[in-house]
Amino acid sequence: MKKKVNIWQLTPPQILVLGFAAIIFIGAGLLTLPFASATGHSIRFIDALFTATSATCVTGLVVVDTGSTYTMFGQIVIVTLIQIGGLGFMTMSTLIAFAFRKKITLKERLVLQEAFNQGSMEGIVRLIRKVIIYSLSIEAIAAIILTIRWTFDLGFGKALYFGIWHSISMFNNAGFDLFGTVDAPYVSFTGYADDFVVNVVVMLLIVLGGIGFIVLSDLMDYKKTKKLSLHSKVVLSMTGILIVLGAIVIFIFEFTNTKTLSSLNMGGKVLASFFQSIAPRTAGPNTIDIAAMRQASQFFIVILMFIGASPGSTGGGIKTTTFAILISAIATMIRGKEDIVIFRFRLAKDRILKAITLTMIALFLVIFVSMLLSTTEDAHFLKILFEVTSAFGTVGLSMGLTPELTAFGKIMISLTMFAGRLGPITLAYALQPKQEKELYRYPEGKITIG
Protein backbone atom coordinates (compact mmCIF):
# COMPACT_ATOMS: atom_id res chain seq x y z
CA MET A 1 0.00 0.00 0.00
CA LYS A 2 1.32 3.43 -0.97
CA LYS A 3 2.24 5.75 1.88
CA LYS A 4 0.29 9.03 1.94
CA VAL A 5 2.48 12.13 1.65
CA ASN A 6 1.93 14.80 4.30
CA ILE A 7 2.67 18.34 3.13
CA TRP A 8 4.48 19.09 6.39
CA GLN A 9 6.90 16.23 5.65
CA LEU A 10 8.11 18.25 2.68
CA THR A 11 11.24 20.39 2.94
CA PRO A 12 10.87 24.20 3.23
CA PRO A 13 12.01 24.75 -0.41
CA GLN A 14 9.40 22.20 -1.61
CA ILE A 15 6.65 23.92 0.39
CA LEU A 16 7.63 27.30 -1.14
CA VAL A 17 7.56 25.89 -4.69
CA LEU A 18 4.19 24.17 -4.22
CA GLY A 19 2.73 27.18 -2.42
CA PHE A 20 3.65 29.62 -5.18
CA ALA A 21 2.44 27.18 -7.85
CA ALA A 22 -0.93 26.79 -6.09
CA ILE A 23 -1.41 30.58 -5.83
CA ILE A 24 -0.57 30.97 -9.54
CA PHE A 25 -3.14 28.39 -10.65
CA ILE A 26 -5.84 29.82 -8.35
CA GLY A 27 -5.12 33.28 -9.77
CA ALA A 28 -5.21 31.98 -13.34
CA GLY A 29 -8.58 30.35 -12.67
CA LEU A 30 -10.02 33.62 -11.36
CA LEU A 31 -8.66 35.60 -14.33
CA THR A 32 -10.37 33.25 -16.81
CA LEU A 33 -13.80 34.08 -15.35
CA PRO A 34 -15.95 36.08 -17.84
CA PHE A 35 -16.43 39.02 -15.44
CA ALA A 36 -12.63 39.39 -15.10
CA SER A 37 -12.41 40.39 -18.76
CA ALA A 38 -13.45 43.81 -20.12
CA THR A 39 -15.11 42.11 -23.12
CA GLY A 40 -17.25 39.82 -20.95
CA HIS A 41 -15.70 36.76 -22.57
CA SER A 42 -13.15 34.49 -20.88
CA ILE A 43 -9.57 35.16 -21.92
CA ARG A 44 -7.45 32.19 -23.00
CA PHE A 45 -6.18 30.09 -20.10
CA ILE A 46 -2.55 30.36 -21.24
CA ASP A 47 -2.82 34.17 -21.17
CA ALA A 48 -4.45 34.08 -17.73
CA LEU A 49 -1.75 31.67 -16.50
CA PHE A 50 0.99 33.94 -17.86
CA THR A 51 -0.56 37.00 -16.18
CA ALA A 52 -1.03 35.14 -12.86
CA THR A 53 2.58 33.90 -12.98
CA SER A 54 3.87 37.38 -13.79
CA ALA A 55 1.82 38.92 -10.93
CA THR A 56 2.67 36.27 -8.31
CA CYS A 57 6.34 36.34 -9.31
CA VAL A 58 6.12 40.18 -9.21
CA THR A 59 7.53 40.49 -12.72
CA GLY A 60 5.26 42.70 -14.81
CA LEU A 61 5.63 41.09 -18.23
CA VAL A 62 2.20 41.00 -19.88
CA VAL A 63 0.76 39.33 -22.98
CA VAL A 64 -2.36 41.52 -22.80
CA ASP A 65 -2.64 45.11 -21.56
CA THR A 66 -3.74 45.15 -17.90
CA GLY A 67 -5.62 48.46 -17.95
CA SER A 68 -7.76 47.76 -21.02
CA THR A 69 -8.15 43.95 -20.89
CA TYR A 70 -9.31 43.37 -17.31
CA THR A 71 -12.28 44.68 -15.34
CA MET A 72 -11.87 46.06 -11.83
CA PHE A 73 -12.40 42.50 -10.52
CA GLY A 74 -9.57 41.20 -12.73
CA GLN A 75 -7.31 44.09 -11.72
CA ILE A 76 -7.98 43.46 -8.02
CA VAL A 77 -7.12 39.76 -8.50
CA ILE A 78 -3.83 40.82 -10.14
CA VAL A 79 -2.88 43.32 -7.42
CA THR A 80 -3.77 40.73 -4.72
CA LEU A 81 -1.45 38.23 -6.41
CA ILE A 82 1.24 40.93 -6.50
CA GLN A 83 0.90 41.59 -2.76
CA ILE A 84 0.96 37.88 -1.91
CA GLY A 85 3.83 37.22 -4.30
CA GLY A 86 5.86 40.22 -3.19
CA LEU A 87 5.65 39.63 0.55
CA GLY A 88 5.51 35.85 0.13
CA PHE A 89 2.56 33.58 0.80
CA MET A 90 4.13 32.47 4.11
CA THR A 91 4.24 36.11 5.26
CA MET A 92 0.56 36.46 4.39
CA SER A 93 -0.17 33.23 6.27
CA THR A 94 1.73 34.61 9.26
CA LEU A 95 -0.33 37.82 9.07
CA ILE A 96 -3.52 35.73 9.30
CA ALA A 97 -1.99 33.77 12.20
CA PHE A 98 -1.21 37.04 14.00
CA ALA A 99 -4.80 38.22 13.43
CA PHE A 100 -6.20 35.04 15.00
CA ARG A 101 -3.45 34.92 17.66
CA LYS A 102 -2.30 31.54 16.40
CA LYS A 103 1.14 30.27 17.41
CA ILE A 104 3.77 30.03 14.64
CA THR A 105 5.03 26.43 14.53
CA LEU A 106 8.65 25.32 14.12
CA LYS A 107 7.96 24.08 10.58
CA GLU A 108 6.40 27.43 9.62
CA ARG A 109 9.47 29.22 11.03
CA LEU A 110 11.73 27.01 8.90
CA VAL A 111 9.73 27.88 5.76
CA LEU A 112 9.87 31.60 6.64
CA GLN A 113 13.62 31.27 7.14
CA GLU A 114 13.94 29.78 3.66
CA ALA A 115 11.59 32.38 2.12
CA PHE A 116 13.65 35.29 3.49
CA ASN A 117 16.98 33.58 2.85
CA GLN A 118 18.00 33.84 6.52
CA GLY A 119 20.90 31.94 8.07
CA SER A 120 18.95 31.06 11.23
CA MET A 121 15.44 31.11 12.71
CA GLU A 122 16.46 33.56 15.43
CA GLY A 123 14.17 36.60 15.35
CA ILE A 124 12.35 35.42 12.21
CA VAL A 125 8.85 36.08 13.59
CA ARG A 126 9.93 39.52 14.79
CA LEU A 127 11.28 40.22 11.28
CA ILE A 128 7.95 39.15 9.73
CA ARG A 129 6.08 41.59 12.00
CA LYS A 130 8.37 44.37 10.81
CA VAL A 131 7.96 43.29 7.16
CA ILE A 132 4.18 43.58 7.41
CA ILE A 133 4.23 46.93 9.26
CA TYR A 134 6.87 48.52 6.99
CA SER A 135 5.24 47.27 3.78
CA LEU A 136 1.73 48.45 4.59
CA SER A 137 3.01 51.80 5.96
CA ILE A 138 5.17 52.57 2.90
CA GLU A 139 2.39 51.54 0.50
CA ALA A 140 -0.15 53.68 2.37
CA ILE A 141 2.03 56.83 2.38
CA ALA A 142 2.86 56.43 -1.33
CA ALA A 143 -0.81 55.79 -2.16
CA ILE A 144 -1.82 59.07 -0.46
CA ILE A 145 0.81 61.11 -2.36
CA LEU A 146 -0.04 59.50 -5.73
CA THR A 147 -3.78 59.98 -5.09
CA ILE A 148 -3.28 63.70 -4.46
CA ARG A 149 -1.14 64.04 -7.60
CA TRP A 150 -3.49 62.06 -9.89
CA THR A 151 -6.64 63.75 -8.59
CA PHE A 152 -5.79 66.67 -10.89
CA ASP A 153 -5.72 64.32 -13.93
CA LEU A 154 -8.20 61.57 -13.13
CA GLY A 155 -10.64 62.83 -10.49
CA PHE A 156 -10.57 61.71 -6.85
CA GLY A 157 -12.27 58.28 -7.16
CA LYS A 158 -10.09 56.97 -9.97
CA ALA A 159 -6.99 58.67 -8.50
CA LEU A 160 -7.54 56.88 -5.17
CA TYR A 161 -7.92 53.50 -6.91
CA PHE A 162 -4.85 54.14 -9.10
CA GLY A 163 -2.85 55.42 -6.11
CA ILE A 164 -3.46 52.31 -4.00
CA TRP A 165 -3.08 49.90 -6.95
CA HIS A 166 0.20 51.36 -8.23
CA SER A 167 1.77 51.82 -4.79
CA ILE A 168 1.30 48.07 -4.17
CA SER A 169 2.58 47.20 -7.65
CA MET A 170 5.65 49.44 -7.45
CA PHE A 171 6.67 48.65 -3.84
CA ASN A 172 6.49 44.94 -4.62
CA ASN A 173 8.62 45.61 -7.71
CA ALA A 174 5.92 44.14 -9.95
CA GLY A 175 5.80 46.81 -12.66
CA PHE A 176 2.14 46.28 -13.60
CA ASP A 177 0.24 49.46 -14.46
CA LEU A 178 -3.29 50.51 -15.48
CA PHE A 179 -2.49 53.38 -17.87
CA GLY A 180 -2.96 51.38 -21.07
CA THR A 181 -6.12 51.85 -23.15
CA VAL A 182 -7.63 50.00 -26.09
CA ASP A 183 -6.17 52.59 -28.46
CA ALA A 184 -2.82 52.96 -26.63
CA PRO A 185 -1.85 49.76 -24.78
CA TYR A 186 1.39 49.08 -22.86
CA VAL A 187 2.18 52.78 -22.28
CA SER A 188 3.35 52.34 -18.65
CA PHE A 189 4.47 55.72 -17.15
CA THR A 190 5.54 57.31 -20.46
CA GLY A 191 2.97 60.07 -19.94
CA TYR A 192 4.82 61.11 -16.76
CA ALA A 193 8.40 61.09 -18.07
CA ASP A 194 9.13 64.57 -16.70
CA ASP A 195 6.68 64.59 -13.77
CA PHE A 196 8.78 65.11 -10.62
CA VAL A 197 6.25 63.83 -8.05
CA VAL A 198 5.29 60.61 -9.88
CA ASN A 199 8.92 59.83 -10.78
CA VAL A 200 10.29 60.36 -7.27
CA VAL A 201 7.49 58.44 -5.50
CA VAL A 202 7.69 55.47 -7.90
CA MET A 203 11.51 55.39 -7.76
CA LEU A 204 11.48 55.46 -3.94
CA LEU A 205 8.90 52.64 -3.86
CA ILE A 206 11.05 50.52 -6.17
CA VAL A 207 14.24 51.15 -4.18
CA LEU A 208 12.60 50.56 -0.77
CA GLY A 209 11.00 47.36 -2.02
CA GLY A 210 14.26 46.25 -3.65
CA ILE A 211 16.78 46.77 -0.83
CA GLY A 212 15.09 44.10 1.29
CA PHE A 213 13.28 43.97 4.60
CA ILE A 214 16.43 43.18 6.59
CA VAL A 215 17.98 46.46 5.42
CA LEU A 216 14.73 48.36 6.05
CA SER A 217 14.69 46.97 9.59
CA ASP A 218 18.31 48.00 10.11
CA LEU A 219 17.59 51.53 8.86
CA MET A 220 14.53 51.89 11.10
CA ASP A 221 16.54 50.74 14.15
CA TYR A 222 19.58 52.90 13.31
CA LYS A 223 18.61 55.67 15.76
CA LYS A 224 18.79 53.15 18.63
CA THR A 225 21.68 50.94 17.51
CA LYS A 226 23.82 53.58 15.69
CA LYS A 227 25.18 50.82 13.46
CA LEU A 228 24.37 48.86 10.32
CA SER A 229 25.04 45.18 9.69
CA LEU A 230 27.57 44.10 7.06
CA HIS A 231 24.66 42.93 4.90
CA SER A 232 23.01 46.37 5.00
CA LYS A 233 26.27 48.18 4.24
CA VAL A 234 26.90 45.99 1.17
CA VAL A 235 23.31 46.31 -0.08
CA LEU A 236 23.11 50.10 0.35
CA SER A 237 26.53 50.81 -1.15
CA MET A 238 26.04 48.46 -4.12
CA THR A 239 22.50 49.75 -4.73
CA GLY A 240 23.73 53.36 -4.72
CA ILE A 241 26.65 52.60 -7.06
CA LEU A 242 24.46 50.71 -9.56
CA ILE A 243 21.75 53.42 -9.59
CA VAL A 244 24.19 56.28 -10.16
CA LEU A 245 26.33 54.34 -12.66
CA GLY A 246 23.21 53.19 -14.53
CA ALA A 247 21.80 56.72 -14.73
CA ILE A 248 25.10 58.11 -16.07
CA VAL A 249 25.43 55.38 -18.73
CA ILE A 250 21.81 55.76 -19.91
CA PHE A 251 22.09 59.57 -19.90
CA ILE A 252 25.24 59.42 -22.08
CA PHE A 253 23.94 56.79 -24.53
CA GLU A 254 20.45 58.24 -24.91
CA PHE A 255 21.13 62.00 -24.68
CA THR A 256 20.93 62.53 -28.44
CA ASN A 257 18.35 59.81 -29.17
CA THR A 258 15.31 61.66 -30.58
CA LYS A 259 13.02 58.72 -29.70
CA THR A 260 13.93 58.70 -25.98
CA LEU A 261 15.71 61.48 -24.03
CA SER A 262 16.39 64.08 -26.71
CA SER A 263 12.82 65.44 -26.73
CA LEU A 264 12.82 66.06 -22.93
CA ASN A 265 14.15 69.14 -21.13
CA MET A 266 17.27 68.76 -18.96
CA GLY A 267 15.26 67.98 -15.81
CA GLY A 268 13.24 65.40 -17.70
CA LYS A 269 16.42 63.83 -19.10
CA VAL A 270 17.89 63.43 -15.59
CA LEU A 271 14.64 62.04 -14.16
CA ALA A 272 14.20 59.58 -17.06
CA SER A 273 17.83 58.44 -16.80
CA PHE A 274 17.48 57.69 -13.08
CA PHE A 275 14.07 56.07 -13.60
CA GLN A 276 15.42 53.75 -16.30
CA SER A 277 18.42 52.94 -14.07
CA ILE A 278 16.21 52.05 -11.09
CA ALA A 279 13.45 50.18 -13.00
CA PRO A 280 15.77 47.29 -14.10
CA ARG A 281 16.38 46.58 -10.41
CA THR A 282 13.41 44.18 -10.89
CA ALA A 283 10.55 46.70 -11.01
CA GLY A 284 9.61 47.06 -14.68
CA PRO A 285 7.78 50.35 -15.34
CA ASN A 286 9.26 52.73 -17.90
CA THR A 287 8.93 56.42 -18.76
CA ILE A 288 10.60 56.18 -22.19
CA ASP A 289 10.16 53.61 -24.97
CA ILE A 290 12.54 50.75 -24.17
CA ALA A 291 12.33 49.37 -27.72
CA ALA A 292 13.46 52.75 -29.09
CA MET A 293 16.62 52.88 -26.95
CA ARG A 294 20.01 52.27 -28.51
CA GLN A 295 21.32 48.70 -28.42
CA ALA A 296 24.15 49.69 -26.06
CA SER A 297 21.57 50.98 -23.54
CA GLN A 298 19.39 47.89 -23.98
CA PHE A 299 22.32 45.55 -23.35
CA PHE A 300 23.39 47.58 -20.31
CA ILE A 301 19.85 47.23 -18.95
CA VAL A 302 20.15 43.44 -19.47
CA ILE A 303 23.18 43.49 -17.13
CA LEU A 304 21.29 45.56 -14.51
CA MET A 305 18.30 43.18 -14.73
CA PHE A 306 20.55 40.14 -14.28
CA ILE A 307 22.04 41.64 -11.09
CA GLY A 308 18.57 42.57 -9.80
CA ALA A 309 17.55 43.59 -6.29
CA SER A 310 18.77 42.48 -2.85
CA PRO A 311 18.16 39.35 -0.72
CA GLY A 312 14.99 39.25 1.37
CA SER A 313 13.29 41.77 -0.92
CA THR A 314 10.39 41.72 -3.37
CA GLY A 315 12.82 41.58 -6.31
CA GLY A 316 14.73 38.95 -8.26
CA GLY A 317 18.04 38.58 -10.10
CA ILE A 318 21.27 37.16 -8.69
CA LYS A 319 21.09 39.98 -6.08
CA THR A 320 23.37 42.89 -5.24
CA THR A 321 25.21 40.98 -2.48
CA THR A 322 26.10 38.17 -4.89
CA PHE A 323 27.44 40.70 -7.39
CA ALA A 324 29.43 42.44 -4.63
CA ILE A 325 31.01 39.12 -3.61
CA LEU A 326 31.95 38.32 -7.22
CA ILE A 327 33.54 41.76 -7.77
CA SER A 328 35.39 41.46 -4.43
CA ALA A 329 36.62 37.96 -5.37
CA ILE A 330 38.02 39.28 -8.67
CA ALA A 331 39.73 42.20 -6.90
CA THR A 332 41.16 39.82 -4.28
CA MET A 333 42.58 37.46 -6.92
CA ILE A 334 44.13 40.33 -8.90
CA ARG A 335 45.83 41.68 -5.76
CA GLY A 336 47.13 38.21 -4.87
CA LYS A 337 45.31 38.09 -1.53
CA GLU A 338 43.77 34.97 0.00
CA ASP A 339 40.76 36.29 1.95
CA ILE A 340 37.85 38.23 0.49
CA VAL A 341 37.34 41.22 2.78
CA ILE A 342 34.37 43.60 2.61
CA PHE A 343 34.06 46.49 5.09
CA ARG A 344 36.80 44.89 7.21
CA PHE A 345 34.97 41.57 7.44
CA ARG A 346 36.37 38.34 6.00
CA LEU A 347 33.81 36.32 4.05
CA ALA A 348 33.38 32.60 4.74
CA LYS A 349 34.18 30.21 1.87
CA ASP A 350 30.61 28.85 1.76
CA ARG A 351 29.26 32.37 1.00
CA ILE A 352 31.67 32.67 -1.92
CA LEU A 353 30.79 29.22 -3.30
CA LYS A 354 27.07 29.97 -2.98
CA ALA A 355 27.52 33.26 -4.87
CA ILE A 356 29.41 31.52 -7.70
CA THR A 357 26.88 28.65 -7.82
CA LEU A 358 23.89 31.02 -7.95
CA THR A 359 25.46 33.13 -10.69
CA MET A 360 26.41 30.14 -12.85
CA ILE A 361 22.96 28.50 -12.53
CA ALA A 362 21.29 31.83 -13.38
CA LEU A 363 23.62 32.37 -16.34
CA PHE A 364 23.00 28.86 -17.70
CA LEU A 365 19.23 29.31 -17.28
CA VAL A 366 19.16 32.64 -19.15
CA ILE A 367 21.43 31.31 -21.93
CA PHE A 368 19.49 28.05 -22.32
CA VAL A 369 16.05 29.72 -22.50
CA SER A 370 17.36 32.44 -24.83
CA MET A 371 18.82 29.85 -27.21
CA LEU A 372 15.61 27.82 -27.10
CA LEU A 373 13.37 30.82 -27.82
CA SER A 374 15.65 31.99 -30.63
CA THR A 375 14.52 28.88 -32.54
CA THR A 376 10.78 29.28 -31.81
CA GLU A 377 10.26 33.06 -31.80
CA ASP A 378 10.60 35.34 -34.83
CA ALA A 379 12.64 38.11 -33.21
CA HIS A 380 16.14 39.60 -32.97
CA PHE A 381 18.38 37.77 -30.45
CA LEU A 382 18.90 40.88 -28.26
CA LYS A 383 15.13 41.24 -28.01
CA ILE A 384 14.84 37.60 -26.87
CA LEU A 385 17.77 37.91 -24.42
CA PHE A 386 16.22 41.10 -23.01
CA GLU A 387 12.86 39.38 -22.46
CA VAL A 388 14.36 36.25 -20.87
CA THR A 389 16.60 38.26 -18.53
CA SER A 390 13.62 40.43 -17.62
CA ALA A 391 11.67 37.28 -16.76
CA PHE A 392 14.51 35.75 -14.71
CA GLY A 393 15.15 39.01 -12.85
CA THR A 394 11.36 39.37 -12.31
CA VAL A 395 11.72 42.85 -13.84
CA GLY A 396 8.93 43.26 -16.36
CA LEU A 397 10.68 45.60 -18.79
CA SER A 398 10.01 44.60 -22.38
CA MET A 399 11.12 45.51 -25.88
CA GLY A 400 7.68 44.48 -27.13
CA LEU A 401 8.22 40.74 -27.61
CA THR A 402 5.94 39.41 -24.83
CA PRO A 403 2.55 40.01 -26.57
CA GLU A 404 3.96 38.33 -29.71
CA LEU A 405 5.18 35.15 -28.00
CA THR A 406 4.06 31.73 -29.22
CA ALA A 407 2.32 29.37 -26.77
CA PHE A 408 5.66 27.62 -26.21
CA GLY A 409 7.35 30.99 -25.63
CA LYS A 410 4.74 31.97 -23.03
CA ILE A 411 5.28 28.69 -21.16
CA MET A 412 9.08 29.09 -21.17
CA ILE A 413 8.93 32.72 -20.01
CA SER A 414 6.42 31.71 -17.28
CA LEU A 415 8.79 28.98 -16.03
CA THR A 416 11.69 31.47 -16.12
CA MET A 417 9.69 33.97 -14.03
CA PHE A 418 8.85 31.19 -11.56
CA ALA A 419 12.51 30.16 -11.26
CA GLY A 420 13.56 33.80 -10.92
CA ARG A 421 11.12 34.57 -8.11
CA LEU A 422 11.92 31.50 -6.02
CA GLY A 423 15.63 31.64 -6.81
CA PRO A 424 17.57 28.99 -8.74
CA ILE A 425 19.14 27.48 -5.61
CA THR A 426 15.80 27.17 -3.75
CA LEU A 427 14.31 25.53 -6.83
CA ALA A 428 17.28 23.16 -7.12
CA TYR A 429 16.97 22.19 -3.44
CA ALA A 430 13.24 21.58 -3.88
CA LEU A 431 13.74 19.26 -6.86
CA GLN A 432 16.74 17.29 -5.62
CA PRO A 433 16.22 13.95 -3.78
CA LYS A 434 17.04 13.74 -0.08
CA GLN A 435 20.79 13.43 0.35
CA GLU A 436 22.65 11.48 2.99
CA LYS A 437 25.76 12.86 4.61
CA GLU A 438 29.00 11.67 3.00
CA LEU A 439 31.13 9.59 5.37
CA TYR A 440 34.39 10.16 3.50
CA ARG A 441 36.33 12.79 1.54
CA TYR A 442 38.38 12.35 -1.62
CA PRO A 443 42.07 13.36 -1.72
CA GLU A 444 42.77 16.93 -2.83
CA GLY A 445 43.81 17.43 -6.46
CA LYS A 446 45.21 20.37 -8.39
CA ILE A 447 44.08 21.75 -11.76
CA THR A 448 45.88 24.46 -13.69
CA ILE A 449 43.65 27.53 -14.22
CA GLY A 450 44.23 30.47 -16.56
pLDDT band with cut points at 50, 70 and 90 for residue 446: confident
Please indicate, yes or no, if residue 360 is contained in any of the structural domains.
yes
Overall number of domains in the chain: 1
Name the residue with higher pLDDT: 50 or 135. 50
pLDDT at 150 over 50: yes
Please indicate, yes or no, if residue 443 is contained in any of the structural domains.
no
What average pLDDT does range 281-290 have in this prediction? 89
Q: Can you say how many angstroms the Cα of residue 267 is from the centroid of all Cα atoms in its chain?
A: 28
Rounded to two decimals, the pTM is: 0.88
pLDDT band with cut points at 50, 70 and 90 for residue 284: confident
Question: In the chain, pLDDT over 90 holds for what percent of residues?
Answer: 59
- What is the per-residue pLDDT across 375-418, written as a single tens digit (0 to 9) for each? 999 999 999 999 999 999 999 999 999 999 999 999 999 999 99
DSSP codes, 212-277: -HHHHHHHHTHHHH----HHHHHHHHHHHHHHHHHHHHHHHHHTT-TTTTTTS-HHHHHHHHHHHH
List the Cα angle 232/233/236 in 5-degree steps: 80
What average pLDDT does range 349-373 have in this prediction? 92
Please indicate, yes or no, if residue 398 is contained in any of the structural domains.
yes
Please indicate, yes or no, if residue 132 is contained in any of the structural domains.
yes
Please name the helix (run of DSSP H) or strand (run of DSSP E) that holds residue 342, with its range, or none.
strand 341-342
- What is the per-residue pLDDT across 417-443, written as a single tens digit (0 to 9) for each? 998 887 766 655 555 555 556 667 778
Q: How would you write 153-184 as a 3-class SS string?
A: HHCHHHHHHHHHHHHHHHHCCCCCCCCCCCCC
Q: Interhelix angle for 124-154 vs 196-210, to 10°?
A: 170
What average pLDDT does range 87-111 have in this prediction? 59
Q: Which domain holds residue 250?
A: 8-427
Amino acid found at 208: L
Rg of the Cα atoms in the chain: 22
Euclidean distance between CA atoms 307 and 322, whole angstroms: 8
- State residue 226's pLDDT score: 85
Please give the mean pLDDT across all residues of the chain: 86
130-139, 348-357, 423-432: which range is least confident on average?
423-432
Please indicate, yes or no, if residue 252 is contained in any of the structural domains.
yes
What average pLDDT does range 44-59 have in this prediction? 94
What average pLDDT does range 317-341 have in this prediction? 91
- State residue 441's pLDDT score: 74
Between the CA atoms of 370, 376, 382 and 384, what dihedral angle is there, to the nearest 10 degrees?
A: -60
Please indicate, yes or no, if residue 436 is contained in any of the structural domains.
no
- State residue 53's pLDDT score: 95
pLDDT band with cut points at 50, 70 and 90 for residue 19: confident
Please indicate, yes or no, if residue 77 is contained in any of the structural domains.
yes
173 and 210 Cβ atoms separated by less than 8 Å: yes
Please indicate, yes or no, if residue 440 is contained in any of the structural domains.
no
- State residue 134's pLDDT score: 87
- State residue 327's pLDDT score: 94
Please name the helix (run of DSSP H) or strand (run of DSSP E) that holds residue 341, with its range, or none.
strand 341-342
- State residue 17's pLDDT score: 80
- State residue 1's pLDDT score: 45
Euclidean distance between CA atoms 391 and 402, whole angstroms: 10
